Structure formats: C-alpha cells, structure tokens
C-alpha cells in the first residue's frame, strides 16, 4: 500500500507520527486483545490469504490500491492499547501499507513457486504485535512477467469472514482506478468499525449488561472450565492450537435437511 519502502512490520511507529485517536474497542476486540496479551507469539488468530495472479500486473497500481484501501478502512490502520482499564482502538492517520515486493524471476523456473511457498509460510507464521503495527501485511512475489503470488495476512481482530468480500471488492475497484484511471465508484463509508464499537458499548452497559451477565453466570455456574469430549484426546496441561483437517463430502439431500 505505498510508493515508498514501507517500515518493517516489526518497527515501532515513528515518534513523529501524529497521535492516534483513541476510541472504544468492541467486546469481541477486547477479548482478542486479552487473549493476545496471554500469548503474544501465537498465530492462531492470523488470517492469511494467498492468490495466484496470472496475466499482466501493474505493481505500482496494486501498491497504490492497497494504500487507498488502508486510507478508506480505518480498521486497517488501527492498533490497540489499554486505557483506563479497558482495551481501546488507536486509529492512526492514513499511512502507506506494509507492502513487500519480492522478485523471484532470477531463480530457475522450477524453483520459483517453491520459494514463494516457503516465504509465504514464513510470513504466515509471524505473529502480529497488536500494540505496535496495523493488522495488515502484504507481500507480492513475482515469478515472471505474467505470474505473481499475492499473499495478504491480517489479524482476526481486524478481519473476519464477512470482511473478505468487502476487502477484495474495494481492492479490485481501487486497482482499476490506479491502473487505468477509472473512477473507483466506491461510495463514502457512512460508518467505520469504531462507530459500531461505540454503539455496542452504549447498548450493552449499566443495568442491562449486568442483567445479561448475571443470566450467563447462573447458567454456567456448574460448568467445567475444561471441555472434555468423550471421543477426544485428553486435554494437555497447557492449551495448544495444533489440529488436523478432515474433509467430508455431504450429499445435497442431507445438506438441504441440515
């Protein structure tokens, strides 16, 4: 998201950077923030996405599109902190995106994709520092003039399944605008995520919040703190995030009934 070399994602914000605006975090963000404090090296909540781009690609236009995307969506330039015993969003002014371009075209043709996969895996395994860096990192690997690998990594505190369609729709429109001079045609956003967080805090506060919390405390009073599934393995003393994937085909009739 820039025409200049962006700062490393491990670097702190420059002391000259304008002060961010502190706004309430949503309850979901606060939970993720607290979980991050207990395991800052975890990548369990990273949301990596990788696409192979075939055909001519204007790298400068793509970088500019990511810059505009960060400008448009405040959540992509937000860090998090504790303020008065609560997690808050620190919304920073628009800034260049963390965009890395890696040219692999000098490698033997058969080794380029393997190297791209290796670097993508390494990037996906890097934890985010929620207090120091915005939760979006982009890397573009050039295999040749007509094939690239685009890797986008973000943290779940800023990105979920509902975000995917919006993210790629806006990115495509902003890329066409930067590459061809077309108008992106994107309407101004009426609200940002912080607006929702403020609304949620107003709706769930005071006596109403205490009543809802009290109901759940009663329901869960006798619940175990450990989920022991009868067909599963015994739980380790220290929770982990390892797992496996089991793919099952569900027939259309059963799927419809479900």
* Spans of all domains in the chain: 21-192
What three-state secondary structure class fits 82?
strand
Q: What is the pLDDT of residue 7?
A: 30
Q: Does the predicted model carry a pTM greater than 0.85?
A: no
Closest CA to 170 of 57, 54, 73: 73
* Spatial distance between the Cα atoms of 10 and 126, rounded to a whole number of angstroms: 10
Which pLDDT value is given to residue 236?
Answer: 75
Angle between helices 27-38 and 193-203 (to 10 degrees): 100
Rounded-to-integer distance, Cα 143 and Cα 138, Å: 16
Residues whose CB falls within 8 Å of the CB of residue 153, separated by 6 or more in sequence, listed in order:
46, 47, 48, 49, 123, 124, 126, 136, 137, 138
Q: What is the pLDDT of residues 53-68, one digit of tens each?
A: 999 999 999 999 999 9
**Does 157 score more than 80 pLDDT?**
yes
CB 28 within 8 A of CB 155: no
Residues 123-137: pLDDT tens digits? 999 999 999 998 999
Mean pLDDT of the chain: 89
DSSP β-ladder status, 147-155 and 46-54: antiparallel
Q: Domain 21-192 has what CATH class? A: alpha beta
Question: Per residue in 84-124, pLDDT tens?
Answer: 888 999 999 999 999 999 999 999 999 999 999 999 999 99
pLDDT attached to residue 4: 33
Would you state the pLDDT for residue 183? 83
State the pLDDT at residue 25. 96
**pLDDT band at residue 17 under the 50/70/90 scheme:** low
Measuring CA to CA, which residue among 119, 93, 103, 101 is closest to residue 62? 101
Span 217-225, mean pLDDT? 90
User: Bigger pLDDT: 10 or 32?
Assistant: 32
Mean pLDDT of the region 134-161: 95
Q: Give the number of other CB atoms < 10 A from CB of residue 172.
A: 12
Provide the pLDDT for residue 16: 55
What distance in Å separates the CA atoms of residue 74 and residue 191, rounded to the nearest whole number? 10
pLDDT, position 6: 30
């Amino acid at each position: 998201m820039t025409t200049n070399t962006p700062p490393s994602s491990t670097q702190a914000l420059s002391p000259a950077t304008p002060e961010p605006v502190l706004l309430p975090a949503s309850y979901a963000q606060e939970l993720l923030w607290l979980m991050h404090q207990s395991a800052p090296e975890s990548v369990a909540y990273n949301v990596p996405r990788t696409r192979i781009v075939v055909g001519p690609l204007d790298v400068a236009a793509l970088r500019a599109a990511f810059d505009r995307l960060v400008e448009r969506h405040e959540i992509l330039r937000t860090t998090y902190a504790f303020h008065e015993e609560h997690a808050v969003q620190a919304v920073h002014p628009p800034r260049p995106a963390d965009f890395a371009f890696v040219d692999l075209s000098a490698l033997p043709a058969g080794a380029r994709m393997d190297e791209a996969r290796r670097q993508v895996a390494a990037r996906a395994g890097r934890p985010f520092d929620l207090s120091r860096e915005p939760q979006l990192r982009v890397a573009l690997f050039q295999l040749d003039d007509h094939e690239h690998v685009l890797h986008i990594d973000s943290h779940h505190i800023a990105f979920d399944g509902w975000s995917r369609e919006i993210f790629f729709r806006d990115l495509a429109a902003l890329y066409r605008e930067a590459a061809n001079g077309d108008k992106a045609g994107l309407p101004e956003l009426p609200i940002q995520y912080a607006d929702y967080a403020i609304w949620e805090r107003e709706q769930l506060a005071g006596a109403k919040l205490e009543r809802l919390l009290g109901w759940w405390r009663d329901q869960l009073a006798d619940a175990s703190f450990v989920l022991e599934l009868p067909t599963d393995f015994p739980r380790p003393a220290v929770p982990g995030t390892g797992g496996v994937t089991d793919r099952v085909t569900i027939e259309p009739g059963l799927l419809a009934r479900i």
